[in-house]
Amino acid sequence: MTRHSKIDLVICRELLVRPGGFRRTGPTVRKDVSFLICLAVLLFLFTTPAVAIDGLSEEELTTLSMFYDEKDLVVTPTRAPKPISQVAENMTIITAKEIEQMNAHTVAEVLNRVTGVFVDFNGQDFGSASMLKIQGSSEQQVLVLLDGIPWNYFNSATAETNTVPIHAVERIEIIKGPASSAWGSSLGGVINIVTKSTGKTKKPKGTVSASYGEQSSMEQFADLYGKSGAVGYYLYAGGQTSNGLRDNRYFDNYSFYSKLKINTGSDSAVTLTAGYSEPHLKWGDFPDNDLTSSGILRIFLTTASFEAGLTEGLDLYVSLYRFEQKFVQMNDVLGMGMYGNAGDLFMDNIYDEETTGVRSRLVWRKGRQTLVVGVDYRYGKLDYTSNNGPWLQQGGGLPAASTATPDLEEWAVYANDSIAVGKWSVTPGIRHDHNNISGPFTSPSLGITYRLSPDTILRTSAARGFTSPSLAQTSTGGLWLNPNPDLDPEMVWSYQAGVESVLGKHLKAKATAFQHDQKDKLTVDTDITVNGGKVRRRGGEVEAETVPVLNISFKGGFAYVDSKDFTTSETSNRYTWNLGLAYDDLRSIRAEIFGHYVWWDKKASFEAEYSDFLWDLNIIKRLTTFSSIKTELFFTVRNILNGEQYSAAYAKNPERWIESGIRARF
């Protein structure tokens, strides 16, 4: 959702954004669970012995290398698997194991731990909405993908990720900086969410999990994967619910996801997927603005893919997909005397989007070279309806209802090459995009990696990227905001350089410097969006992690972004800290404390608060293993020190809250 869609969740742009900003009152989080219970649980976790009947697996007894092995492949940079040591882009990978260890409920919670990613939560509640920004970009400039399928809304050009079932995710690949030569509209970066693969064994395997926390915050899910004859399968079903951790919020969601892979020959296969998710949520009551806001999000996705080896070294991939997103946003009068009686309609918005697309590519491999040539096409249409209540009709002069039905047609051709020669790896790429609203755009890129030593890799890249304007900006408009069909895409030239090295066999360190020179910035001028001037974003990232020493390991990161708008001469700086300390004996206990801090550099009118680190404690207790079933308890204390970290007064984060659960694998 764009800023228009996001802000409309709780306000109606200029109508409610007053010079004093948002001022909000409400009850603090009710402490349903006492610390005596917490202490008892902690004592149980640390004192109960674990007995592995079948012994530990080789994987569990092996300390992982700090570098990814050459066999570890990523797909997002060039849309074909390649070793991460040959990736020139500034990239981070989060695995399913890491997601499980942090006891995350949404993709946004996971991304909040990634150095260089700035997650602006609408309350940081259980399942709350979020805006994703990378290295100082806007949320509209970040492209979110699910297995390569665009997840962003047409209307807003932003993405909401609480519709993605996090426990069906195998890994998340994040490119920080434009990836337009591979994916098109992605000026700020790409977040590719890769779902779990189908099973390979006749005997089914899977996971069952359930958790419970304060304010009846619950999550249950189960998945199952295996193979029957020529058909591999993966099935997932899950539910999440919460009464809200503060300020009269709530969240309720049910998700389903399935994947079938059918081997049709020795070198060919068909993969079918289907997914459904429907979060219902309330953003809260806002007495200062006389509004209460809630919404329904609904997604349905189905795909059919075919892959085949045509000749030795030449593979074909074709995928058809159908993606439907619906967002219903409801704003009613709270009854404080500003807009009428309690329960009156203030404004409801309905965004109903349907997308049909095809992706095809040829991948040619010979020796140390991999060439990818592909074509993307998608057609989408938006059915938009705005229902305005009595106050907006009488006081704002708006009609009772307004509608719009714009469509968007896009096609692109691209080519990306990866050439490895000795210690060097060179990745040139180019893509040409065209859509029926903002016209054509060509995106070249060049990346180079150099292995300085067995433990040190140098990376550098240069890329031209863009972000297309949204339908809200070109076609539908918003509350007292007129559409502008003549908008051009935002454009950027981006330069990054970095080094990654193992120091002393115990510490891996990574440092990256970047500069993004953007022009044609999309900005609001009175009552219409226009292309503005130039913006420069530059800064750096530093990350470090250690191998376990006496079962203790450390992981941390710092990111800094300095931005300047040359049209307005406004400057800002943002930075984040991530700090984590973990203990894992690989047999009985894993415990981690993790802290996150963000400096938003907000104006005083936002009444933001971000003077504190938010610290979380996660503990996993591995229980006795019987036969092939492995069971563990997990326990989480979030915001241990009752810190405050929010970007606006209407989106305050919860105080300390607690949850626990049980997980079994078979």
Please report, for the chain, the start and end positions of each structural domain, with discontinuous segments joined by +. 3-665
244: left (phi over 0), alpha (psi -120 to 50) or beta: left
Helix (H) / strand (E) containing 94: strand 91-95
Q: Which fold has domain 3-665?
A: Maltoporin; Chain A (2.40.170)
Unique residue bearing structure tokens 């990866």 = 418
Q: Which spans in 73-120 are helix H?
A: 96-101, 107-111
- Provide the pairing of β-strand 630-638 with 169-176: unpaired
Q: Which amino acid is at 283?
A: W
Among 623, 596, 624, CA closest to 120: 596
Distance of CA 212 to the CA centre of its chain: 24
Identity (one letter) of the amino acid at 125?
A: D
d(CA 478, CA 660) in angstroms, rounded, equals 43
Q: How far is it, in rounded angstroms, from Cα 592 to Cα 270?
A: 41
Which of 534, 523, 600 is closest to 565 using CA atoms?
A: 534
Among candidate residues 566, 463, 436, the one with its CA nearest the CA of residue 189: 463
Per the CB < 8 A criterion, the answer to whether 429 and 182 are in contact is yes
| Whole-number Å distance between alpha carbons of 635 and 298 | 30
Positions in the chain short of pLDDT 70:
1-72
Rounded Cα gap, residues 405 and 352, in angstroms = 10
Q: Do 187 and 213 form a contact (C-beta atoms < 8 A)?
A: no
Q: Which runs of consecutive H residues, i.e. helices, occur in 407-535?
A: 471
Task: Select from 14, 9, 13 the least CA-distant residue to 285.
Answer: 9
- Alpha carbons within 13 A on the beta-carbon side of 235: 9
- For β-strands 189-195 and 142-146, DSSP reports them as parallel
CB atoms under 10 Å from CB of 523, counted, come to: 15
**What single DSSP character describes residue 5?**
H
Rounded Cα distance between 631 and 51, Å, is 11
Looking at residue 645, what is its pLDDT? 96
Amino acid of residue 356: T
Q: Which residue has the tokens 């007053």?
A: 18
Which residues lie below 8 Å from residue 582, measured CB to CB, with a gap of 6+?
552, 553, 554, 555, 590, 591, 592, 593
Is the separation of the CB atoms in 436 and 398 below 8 Å?
Answer: no
> What does the angle CA 275 – CA 277 – CA 280 come to, to the nearest 5 degrees?
175
Write out the two tokens for 26.
């409400």
CB 400 within 8 A of CB 387: yes
Question: Sign (positive/negative) of CA torsion 364, 365, 368, 372?
Answer: positive
- Secondary structure (3-state) at 472: helix
Q: Under a CB-based contact definition with an 8 Å cutoff, are residues 507 and 548 in contact?
A: no
Q: Which residue has the tokens 């404080």?
A: 336
Tokens of 19: 């010079």
Considering only CA atoms, which of 241, 25, 255, 286 is closest in space to residue 127?
A: 241
Instruction: Name residue 172's amino acid.
Output: I
Q: Are 293 and 281 in contact (CB under 8 A)?
A: no
Distance CA 523, CA 568 (A): 11
Token output for 12: 């109606």
186's CB contacts (< 8 A; 6+ apart) are 141, 142, 143, 178, 179, 180, 465, 467
Query: Rounded distance, CA 189 to CA 366, Å?
Result: 30
| SS3 category, 525 | strand
What φ, ψ does residue 129 adopt, rounded to 5°?
-70, 165
What's CA 468's distance to the chain center, in Å? 19
Per-residue pLDDT reduced to its tens digit, 131-182: 999 999 999 999 999 999 999 999 999 999 999 999 999 999 999 999 999 9
Strand pairing class (130-134; 117-121): antiparallel
Give the residue among 123, 87, 127 at the shortest CA–CA distance from 107. Answer: 127
Read off the pTM. 0.90
Buried b (16+ CB within 10 A) or exposed e, 246-276: bbebbbbbebbbbbebeeeeeeebebebebb
Note the Cα 143 to chain centre separation in Å.
9
